[in-house]
């Protein structure tokens, strides 16, 4: 007893010392104070983002996005990661509870060297164990697994948002590409007529041969530009086939109805508070879960520095048969086991410190994501505002230069103007029309970027079907 008392006192001191476990700060950093300098679209009229694509005047766009969401390998990968995280959570919960294992033995043996007859031995039993979660280590493991499961669900939502934005951007690029093809087709037809008329004039001596060469060269240049643009459109269709999983002939048939028509979003805006926008970003919510998981890991690592008590027990029934004689036996045992981490060269402390460092890293990552989110939303707002303002001027420029070209072409046809003047007017008008299409594309693309930056309409309610709290 004189030896046991100091030992018990030391164990009690270690147990009491364990109450001072670390509690890492999981408070997420706040967004930068000086934010939201960009003007809100349409005076910040708050609208729900969930039906974002329905606000575009093109029913094919949301249909293509729905096709992509239903068959995307990217989303399948995200769901697989979610299933893996759920399994990890179930495993962590199971490890925090009691465990029971069964065993059975049937053996017949003999040893010729001893001269004994053959023996038959049989037994059946069960072992049980349950570690008491004295310092929260097992609970921390469950918390970490739960947070990472929630993060995986949020990652699935983030993948949906990114995929929808990618499909929309590719679709917009295709429609603007088709619009340019339509412009180049018209110009190619017009220049072919001009080249033919110029050739006729050259043959009768009304135009210099140099002007005939100029007309032919301008027509060839437009045909080259047309073929290059058509090739770009074909590549964009291939990209949509990859994203949507639709057969290319079927997709081309669906795209044909609205060829060269850019979708235009309705007039709608965002909530005026930065926090309301940032709360709709699943990537930020996932980063918060990773911070919580890292803090739970640190709690688990800290708990490993302190004693552990496991309550165990076993029971077994068996018999031993030797030379026709049978002996039955029943054995059992029950009691606690104390494990004291006396000396490990500082390994457990190092593991705890490394886990705390990962908490700091997760907090820094979340801080960076918050800053990036503010920057992305503000950048998208600037793009929307700039493109909206530019479109009126680009439209006026395209219309004015087209009118100038029409006048120059009319003068050339009656012999009052030169071919060089007409081709120069055509070049400027063509550039202005292409510029208008580019501004219109930029405006719609800015709305897509705003959708992505604002979180794509994700909300906590969306996560409920994937909630892992009770799974």
One pLDDT digit (tens) per residue for the chain, 471 residues? 343 444 344 444 444 444 445 556 656 666 554 444 544 443 334 344 556 777 788 889 989 988 888 888 888 888 888 888 888 888 888 888 888 888 888 887 776 555 556 778 888 988 888 888 888 888 888 999 999 998 888 888 888 888 989 999 999 999 999 999 999 998 888 888 888 888 888 888 887 888 888 888 988 988 999 999 999 999 999 999 999 989 999 999 999 998 989 888 776 555 555 566 676 688 888 899 999 999 999 999 998 898 888 888 888 888 777 767 777 778 888 888 888 888 888 888 999 999 999 999 999 999 898 888 888 888 888 888 888 889 999 999 999 999 988 898 888 888 787 888 888 888 899 989 999 999 999 999 988 888 888 887 655 455 444 444 444
CB-based contacts of 267: which residues, under 8 Å, 6+ apart? 42
DSSP 31: P
How high is the pLDDT of residue 157? 86
Whose tokens are 């500082």? That residue is 346
Question: CB–CB of 95/141 below 8 Å?
Answer: yes
SS3 259: coil
Residue 267 CA: distances (Å) to CA of 39, 42, 124, 388: 15, 7, 75, 11
393's tokens: 């001027």
Contact 222, 181 (CB under 8 A): no
The Cα–Cα gap between 52 and 459 comes to 14
CATH topology for 24-96+135-306+351-466 is: Outer membrane efflux proteins (OEP) (1.20.1600)
C-alpha R_g of the chain: 37
Alpha helices of 325-418 — where are they, by DSSP H?
A: 347-413
* Helices 209-244 & 137-204 angle (0-180, nearest 10): 160
DSSP SS3 for 443:
helix
pLDDT of residue 182: 92
The pLDDT of residue 350: 92
Q: Provide the pLDDT for residue 178.
A: 94
Residue 78 structure tokens: 């995200």
**pLDDT tens-digit profile of 178-236?**
999 999 998 888 888 888 888 888 888 887 888 888 888 988 988 999 999 999 999 99
| 294 within 8 A of 31, measured Cβ to Cβ | no
Reduced to 3 states, what is the DSSP secondary structure of residue 273?
coil
Q: What is the pLDDT of residue 153?
A: 87
Which residues on adjacent β-strands are paired with residue 308? 339
- Considering the domain 97-132+307-340 in this protein, what is its CATH number? 2.20.200
* Contact call for residues 450 and 270 (beta carbons, < 8 A): yes
Cα separation, 18 vs 9, whole angstroms? 14
Give the DSSP letter string of 154-221: HHHHHHHHHHHHHHHHHHHHHHHHHHHHHHHHHHHHHHHHHHHHHHHHHHHTSS-HHHHHHHHHHHHH
Do 376 and 165 form a contact (C-beta atoms < 8 A)?
A: no
User: Do the domains 97-132+307-340 and 24-96+135-306+351-466 match in fold?
Assistant: no
pLDDT of residue 232: 95
CA-to-CA separations, 58 to 183, 258, 278, in angstroms, rounded: 21, 8, 28
417 three-class SS = coil
How far, in whole angstroms, is CA 420 from its chain's centroid?
Answer: 54
Residue-wise pLDDT tens digits, 265-288: 776 555 555 566 676 688 888 899
* pLDDT score at 459: 53
Residue 446 near residue 384, CB atoms below 8 Å: yes
Question: What is the rounded CA–CA span in Å between residue 329 and residue 325?
Answer: 13
Helix axes 73-95, 137-204, angle to 10 degrees: 180
Q: Which residues lie below 8 Å from residue 313, measured CB to CB, with a gap of 6+?
A: 127, 128, 129, 332, 333, 334, 335
**Is the CB of residue 154 less than 8 Å from the CB of residue 289?**
yes
Other C-beta atoms closer than 10 Å to the C-beta of 5 total 9
Predicted local confidence at residue 335, as pLDDT = 84
CB atoms within 10 A of CB 105: 11
C-alpha 414/C-alpha 412 separation (Å) is 5
How far apart, in whole angstroms, are the C-alpha atoms of residue 34 and residue 25?
24
Residue ranges of the domains in the chain?
Answer: 24-96+135-306+351-466, 97-132+307-340
Tokens (6 digits) for 162? 């990114």
């Amino acid at each position: 007893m004189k030896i046991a008392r100091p030992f018990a006192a030391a164990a009690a001191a270690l147990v009491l010392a364990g109450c001072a476990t670390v509690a890492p700060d999981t408070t997420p950093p706040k967004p930068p104070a000086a934010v939201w300098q960009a003007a809100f679209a349409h005076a910040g009229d708050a609208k729900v983002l969930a039906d974002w694509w329905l606000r575009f005047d093109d029913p094919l766009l949301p249909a293509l996005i729905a096709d992509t969401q239903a068959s995307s390998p990217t989303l399948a990968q995200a769901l697989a990661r979610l299933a893996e995280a759920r399994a990890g959570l179930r495993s962590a919960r199971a490890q925090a509870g009691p465990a029971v294992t069964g065993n059975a033995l049937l053996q017949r043996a003999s040893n010729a060297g001893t001269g004994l007859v053959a023996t038959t031995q049989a037994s059946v039993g069960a072992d049980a164990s349950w570690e008491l979660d004295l310092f929260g280590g097992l609970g921390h493991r469950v918390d970490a697994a739960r947070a990472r499961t929630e993060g995986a669900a949020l990652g699935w939502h983030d993948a949906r948002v990114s995929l929808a934005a990618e499909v929309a951007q590719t679709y917009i690029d295709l429609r603007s590409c088709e619009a340019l093809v339509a412009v180049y087709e018209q110009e190619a037809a017009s220049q072919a007529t001009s080249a033919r008329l110029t050739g006729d004039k050259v043959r009768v001596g009304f135009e210099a041969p140099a002007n005939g060469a100029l007309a032919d060269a301008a027509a060839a240049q437009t045909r080259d530009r047309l073929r290059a643009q058509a090739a770009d459109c074909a590549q964009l269709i291939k990209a949509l086939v990859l994203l949507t999983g639709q057969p290319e002939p079927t997709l081309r048939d669906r795209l044909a109805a609205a060829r060269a028509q850019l979708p235009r979003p309705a007039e709608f805006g965002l909530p005026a508070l930065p926090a309301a926008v940032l709360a709709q970003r699943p990537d930020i919510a996932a980063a918060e879960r990773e911070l919580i998981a890292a803090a739970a890991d640190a709690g688990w690592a800290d708990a490993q520095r302190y004693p552990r008590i496991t309550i165990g027990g076993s029971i077994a029934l068996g018999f031993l048969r030797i030379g026709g004689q049978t002996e039955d036996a029943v054995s059992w045992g029950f009691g606690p086991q104390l494990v004291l981490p006396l000396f490990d060269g500082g390994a457990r402390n190092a593991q705890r410190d490394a886990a705390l460092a990962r908490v700091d890293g997760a907090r820094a990552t979340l801080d960076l994501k918050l800053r990036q989110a503010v920057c992305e939303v503000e950048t998208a707002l600037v793009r929307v505002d700039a493109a909206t303002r530019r479109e009126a001027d680009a439209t006026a420029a395209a219309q004015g230069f087209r009118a100038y070209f029409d006048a120059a072409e009319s003068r050339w046809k009656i012999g009052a103007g030169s071919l060089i003047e007409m081709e120069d007017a055509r070049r400027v008008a063509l550039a202005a029309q292409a510029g208008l299409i580019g501004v219109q594309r930029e405006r719609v693309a800015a709305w897509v970027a705003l959708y992505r930056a604002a979180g794509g309409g994700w909300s906590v309610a969306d996560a409920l079907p994937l909630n892992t709290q009770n799974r």
